[in-house]
Chains A and B, each alone.
Chain A
């Protein structure tokens, strides 16, 4: 029998086998993708064949079927529901927190206060926000305790039974008033927690060249993002000492680092599952309840979910900065801007959040899309005892746009120049330099202004 087995055959089959195996393998080295070496400089709006193509959203079908799972649609066995006790006072020292009555309630699994949090502060730039306020309250929406219970209703009732004794402090609400630093929101620190200054050309010379000086103060209000889906998270602490968080958070990597810091544990023990977010608009760019939920889960050994109420969205999540904007602009008789001085005061609320980014962008864009040789822009961000402000669509750009465009209209009206004409005279063109010296390319301000004017019939109706 063994004689029948030919060695050669055997070798052949092995080779075959080997070849087949190799064929099945994916190339271990991916062929490098080749990009064109020369940059093809196509006209604006014609740069890619994708423009103008019909495409459907890959998530559209699930959305329409109601099958997309947002955080609140996820449930785990044995899950608890958390609620937070909000201070309801905008500035105070916390004398005592009595949670005994809440803890004794049937259905309450755990109560958490700020003292139990390893590092009780967080924030995407400055870590100035307590997870749960334990010594001092900085705004009325501050949470002072968290409860995990078998139902939301019980958790809510338990929050009502938590007794907090406060020593009220005088609050400061007006950002201009806050600049005096007579009442400090975060003593001993100054209320002015971020500044920016942009200087270009010679301001005095610019104003001297002007035939008219226009001065105005403009202000905008606080705006909440109002995502249709409120902030929501679920935390599950496992027996291996790791925590998994399902969260509506938009920036999970950043959030993970922030949570690791507050919990004082290695980042690799923290896993965040970001699900589909039901609207963010900048309002879900930082952690909120996650560290508290993680600790409640550790205390109870059960998964814990918390969903903000619509009220909490308004009082305990970030909002858009209210701005107070002082503009002084020098203009010649024929409508050319010679100089502009801008002073921005941002009401930052109780915590920094993304204020620095907002401040920077607002300051850079505060002169508008206009060629202004002599410019001074100063911006200050203030702490006040109000709901914190943070990132929101445009990071400060809409506020300054409201100011400089309002002033442009005033200038046009006063000088008797067509508002469109005034903008065309001063607008950026190809190669213009921005206030920070960036040389601009693909500038289509004038084209878009002209197109817009044509489309809404400015020339016919506007005069």
Chain B
């Protein structure tokens, strides 16, 4: 690794002021599972690394008036171990479990996964299907936005150099909303998704789809929603045929590419299958409630 200075922030406010003070060639360090690799490969050459792992106000999982709040520093293991999430959002537990391996899940944070913003991230789809919002803290205070707005492109978010992600909030209206997440990787452990997908839905009157949200990863520059598939399903009867049709429509919502992990056409097949399966699984969850 190349030489840099290291400072540690005890709070989000301090992190913002340290970033402003040392910027713009600064980098935020949380779990480090991506950043340290990039630093070793000299993909970043910062003057200063600001460690935020001691900022307690970025930690914790709680249900408050707004909904379910997860601090940016919540690790994937903490999500898996949280009793409320286990009870209400098995999809989030599953998504966290598919990330890396035990060691990286113990280090890696939810916020880090979102901020790194690789298209194949596993934290994104389920949160996006649950219409999660994020809070960003900067020198001028905080701002709130939808997760979709937060993502800009591959490895790019709206964050400025002197801003940090504070937390992720699943709005109250979606607490307990039946959701499913599936990932297709080439191995069980330590694999990146070729495609991942999540669906969240309520069952409306007459066994119809209500408020269906579908999200896909690794098929576009960022994690995306599948509006064509969602619009098709809204208000329709819940049948295997309609789920399959939504899968076909989701393919059109995506822009998969050929790369060394998989071909675009293979990814298209996966999108259709995973969309259908997540819808089916979410529906089963709804029936069990």
A residues with CB within 8 A of B: 153, 157
Contacts and interface: CB of A to CB of B under 8 A. Distances in A.
Interface in B1-53: 1-3
Contacts of B2: 153, 157
Nearest to B1: A153
Contacts of A157: 2
4 contacts: A153-B1, A153-B2, A153-B3, A157-B2
Contacts of B1: 153
A153 B3 CA distance: 9
Nearest to A157: B2
A157 B1 CA distance: 10
A201 B242 CA distance: 64
A88 to B, nearest CB: 14
The 4 A-B pairs of least Cβ separation, nearest first, read A153-B1, A157-B2, A153-B3, A153-B2
B220 to A, nearest CB: 29
Interface residues of B, number: 3
B1 to A, nearest CB: 7
Nearest to B40: A309
Contacts of B3: 153
B139 to A, nearest CB: 34
A157 B2 CA distance: 8
Contacts of A153: 1-3
B36 to A, nearest CB: 14
A153 B40 CA distance: 10
A433 to B, nearest CB: 43
A153 B1 CA distance: 7
A315 to B, nearest CB: 14
A153 B39 CA distance: 13
Nearest to A311: B41
Nearest to B3: A153
A147 to B, nearest CB: 16
Nearest to A160: B42
A157 B3 CA distance: 10
A286 to B, nearest CB: 28
Nearest to A152: B1
Nearest to A309: B40
A153 B2 CA distance: 7
A107 to B, nearest CB: 12
A305 to B, nearest CB: 18
A28 to B, nearest CB: 59
A202 to B, nearest CB: 46
B101 to A, nearest CB: 15
Interface in B107-136: none
A58 B207 CA distance: 66
Interface in B54-94: none
A259 B1 CA distance: 32
A157 B42 CA distance: 11
A312 to B, nearest CB: 13
A159 to B, nearest CB: 12
Interface string B155-186: 00000000000000000000000000000000
A263 to B, nearest CB: 33
B38 to A, nearest CB: 14
A203 B61 CA distance: 75
A153 B4 CA distance: 12
A120 B1 CA distance: 31
A167 B9 CA distance: 50
A103 B2 CA distance: 19
A314 B151 CA distance: 34
B260 to A, nearest CB: 12
A256 to B, nearest CB: 34
Nearest to A154: B3
B39 to A, nearest CB: 12
Nearest to A153: B1
A385 B164 CA distance: 47
A249 to B, nearest CB: 27
B108 to A, nearest CB: 20
A35 to B, nearest CB: 50
A153 B42 CA distance: 12
A157 B45 CA distance: 13
A340 B79 CA distance: 60
B54 to A, nearest CB: 26
A341 to B, nearest CB: 34
A146 B253 CA distance: 52
Nearest to B41: A311
B271 to A, nearest CB: 27
A96 B3 CA distance: 29
B170 to A, nearest CB: 39
B270 to A, nearest CB: 23
A223 to B, nearest CB: 16
